[in-house]
Amino acid sequence: MKKIPLLLAALAFQFQGAYAQQSVQTNNDDVILHSWCWSFNTIRENMKDIAEAGYTVIQTSPAQHCVTEVSRDKGGGNQLFGKGKWYYHYQPTDWKIGNYNVGTRDDLVALCREADKYGIRIIVDVLPNHTALNDCQVEDALDAAVGGHDNLYHKAGFDEIKDYNDRLQCTTGQMGGLPDVNTENPDFQHYYMTYVNDLISCGVRGFRYDTAKHIGLPSDPKDPKATQNDFWEVATGKKAVKGLTLSMPREDLFIYGEVLQDRNVKEAEYADAIGAVTASSMGWCIRYALEGNEWKKDEIATYCHPAKPSQLITWVESHDTYCNAHESAHLTDAQIRMGWVFITARQYGVPLFYSRPDGSSPENVWGNNIIGKKGNDAFKHPEVAAVNKFRKAMHGQPEMLVYSDNGKVVEVARGKKGVALLNISSEPQTISLATSLPNGKYKDEVSGKMFSVKKGILKGTLSPLTSYILVKK
């Protein structure tokens, strides 16, 4: 493993200072729980635990009408993978509230009311980019609203994307068999915004835009059916469509786009258009380190992204990295927890914790395999809760990143106020690291283990795959 000099600490501090001057929404204290495949009622029933674990935002699964059966699966089941399948709710049939996974509109209203009692915002995963694989399952009301079935799709909406780095193909073509919606059609925009405003009227206070990079920006080439690429202006309330606009000011809503990083993706432009986007490459870099490889320190220091750090949603894994090719499913909950402590202790980026299925393990990725039920208890592990609360307590404190020479221990120092330590190895590690903490003795918030600081050097021993939160009292 490559040795990493402590000089990085000073460099990281300088990087963050530069970003702080650029940021609009600096020092964001939010922490998101992705309650993946939990029903609205299940989330509501677990609200106290979620709040006590320090989350401020809950992201739900998609809420619109969706398919319940496909070819060779006649439906009738409630399994994450089997009869029911989690990805059915990513196949819209209409943009109206309610489906077999999350529940009804009344359930959503009850959830939002309960969340409000705890000061938690509910955001909903929305997906205007495509419809069900079988477009015959689209409901008549949707076809009628957009001026007929043909008007629902781009000209090339049934042509599979062959080159994802070709912007016209990427924003107007069929992705993975999912027909591409004509998001520039004003009739569709009006219909979709009616759905968004209904969610807001239920108490929803934000949205995660699925497959956002497949919806064109103003600078992108236009579909032959479109006169302008104005979807994001409409979706973020900058522009009305047929007299209808976002029913709440954009600044009062938590909105971000799933913009997976790749060649020729306009990452910074999407961040400015939507407000926030996903830092998917950073998640890969962290998983790479957790697998026993080196920390890509220079990339991680700048969040592996060209946009401002205050515009980023960070994660260790997402539901896609866990479910699709299971690229992150081999990591244990303890390994994921170490990555989580790292991203959550940092000054910028809003961290999102993906809730894995209940009963799951690297050997059994689907666990108990029931849609609508709570995920496993990893979301409220004491170390997770401790760093969630640390994030809020460190508001406004500049960060400094320090790595042990062998790369197995990482320190995230927040000014002179606190430190998060994490050992990503399966062996104990004794450290002697530069720190910004004042001289003194420090007790970990979870285990009570003691560490000491003398003349700017933090010393102590870390157990395998364990994190520590040290705060100046």
Q: DSSP label at 84?
A: B
Selecting among 94, 125, 210, 333, the annotated active-site residue is 210
Of 33, 60, 181, give the one whose Cα is nearest residue 125. Answer: 60
258 is catalytic: yes
Question: CA 270 to CA 217: how far, in whole Å?
Answer: 7
Regarding beta strands 57-60 and 206-209, do their DSSP bridges make them parallel or antiparallel, or are they unpaired?
A: unpaired
Query: How many CB atoms neighbour CB 2 within 10 A?
Result: 10
Selecting among 107, 184, 230, 258, the annotated active-site residue is 258
For the chain, what is the radius of gyration of the CA atoms? 23
Per residue, what are the HEC states of 164-189? CCCHHHHHHCEECCECEECCCCHHHH
Of 224, 46, 192, give the one whose Cα is nearest residue 128. Answer: 192
The answer to whether 156 and 214 have CB atoms below 8 angstroms apart is: no
Q: How many CA within 13 A on the CB side of residue 142?
A: 27
Question: CA 239 to CA 236: how far, in whole Å?
Answer: 8
Q: How many CA within 13 A on the CB side of residue 105?
A: 13
DSSP per-residue letters across 88-153: GGGSEEEEEE-BTTTB-HHHHHHHHHHHHHTT-EEEEEE-TTB--SSGGGS-HHHHHHTTSGGGGB
Residues annotated as catalytic are: 210, 258
